[in-house]
Structure 1
């Protein structure tokens, strides 16, 4: 049988900012309990008093990864270089039987110019190519028989080198997304490899995004 505590946990899990505020003791429990009275009453299909909700809030134990654990601090302090690449174009293409062969022609050209920015991601139904805008026309010519779902220029990529053990740290990416969201920065694309994390933003956001990520590191 679902309890008030279960409902409080369900709500906080879906609202990580609220959960973090609770873990840092910077939220008014009484006011939050009043705010949650109606949704929790609907979840339990009966009237619930704010006092019961406030008690559940005080007893709630947030995941340790939300706090500033020593391990998380060490990883963030050991973040590597932050690199910015501008003048990029993002192509989203529907997957087809000919896409790989046509993509191979693009790869052959990229091998001739080692200073280009380039990434390729293949999903279930579509593929994504992000490349320096100097090759925009070349890509369009070689994919002329493919179905373009979206083409977006005027983009910049911000890449962060991550520590070797980053894949064992729960909640690491949350710190980046939280800061970017708080700053009102819209992410156009997110990319990652084992030890590198890249966000793609429109040029108007690049300075603000770079500053936000530096603040996470510091």
Structure 2
């Protein structure tokens, strides 16, 4: 049986930004109840008082605040080293029968170079390479026979060390990326391992992105 509380909760959960704002207590519940009243009534198939929706929102906001405070924020306060690298280029190539061999040759070149940033990921149809600008000519020479679908320069990276228990807490990445989105930061690439992730952004957004990451520790 549908109840006002369950319908309100499902509505809020379908709106991630609204859910986060509600958890932080920065929304006027009375105004919100008026805004969503018609949707809640349509779902229930009956008239609903604003006061009932407000009460459901209050209960939900308390629960959401508890989840954020005692799980996600506990992890984020223990974020480790934050490393920034600049002067990067992002290449995207179509997957082919020869591209792994080209990557092997690239790795040999990287082993002979000091202080070079390199990361690569492979999807079903595309292979992505993010590398220091100093090796751009090497990449373009080795991969000249491959189909390049995109090249983006003037990029920087931010690498973040996460506590080991991050893999047991849902919502860590959502919480971080939501704050980046709020600041209007466009993420070109995301690369992750078990306890570390790296985002690639335009160089003119790196200062703002770094501040978002650093401020996570003080939430």
Offset of 1:215 from its aligned partner?
Answer: 0.8
The answer to whether the 8 Å contact 1:66/1:171 transfers is no
Q: TM-score, normalised by structure 2?
A: 0.87
Q: Aligned partners of 1:129, 1:176: CA distance in 2, in Å?
A: 24
Query: Which 5+ residue runs of structure 1 have no aligned equivalent?
Result: none
Q: Match for residue 8 of structure 1?
A: 8
Q: 1:16-27 to 2 correspondence within 5 Å?
A: 16-27=16-27
| Aligned counterpart, 1:67 | 68
SS in 1 for 2:88: strand
CA contact (8 A) 2:33 2:53 kept: yes
8 Å CA contact 2:156–2:203 kept in 1: the answer is yes
Question: What is the 5 A alignment of 1:98-137?
Answer: 98-137=98-137
Q: Structure 1 residues 44, 149: closer, same or farther in 2, change over 3 A? A: farther
**TM superposition score normalised by structure 1:** 0.88
Where structure 2 has 5 or more consecutive residues not aligned to the other structure, the ranges are none
Deviation at 1:44, TM superposition (A): 4.8
Equivalences for residues 135-214 of structure 1 within 5 A: 135-214=135-214
Return the alpha-carbon distance in structure 1 between the equivalents of residues 89 and 66 of structure 2. 36
- What CA RMSD, in Å, does the superposition of the two structures yield over aligned residues? 2.2
Q: How does 1:18-97 map to 2 (within 5 A)?
A: 18-44=18-44, 48-60=48-60, 62-63=63-64, 66-69=67-70, 72-97=72-97
**Secondary structure of the structure 1 residue equivalent to 2:185:** coil
Give the number of the structure whose residues are more often helix, by fraction: 2
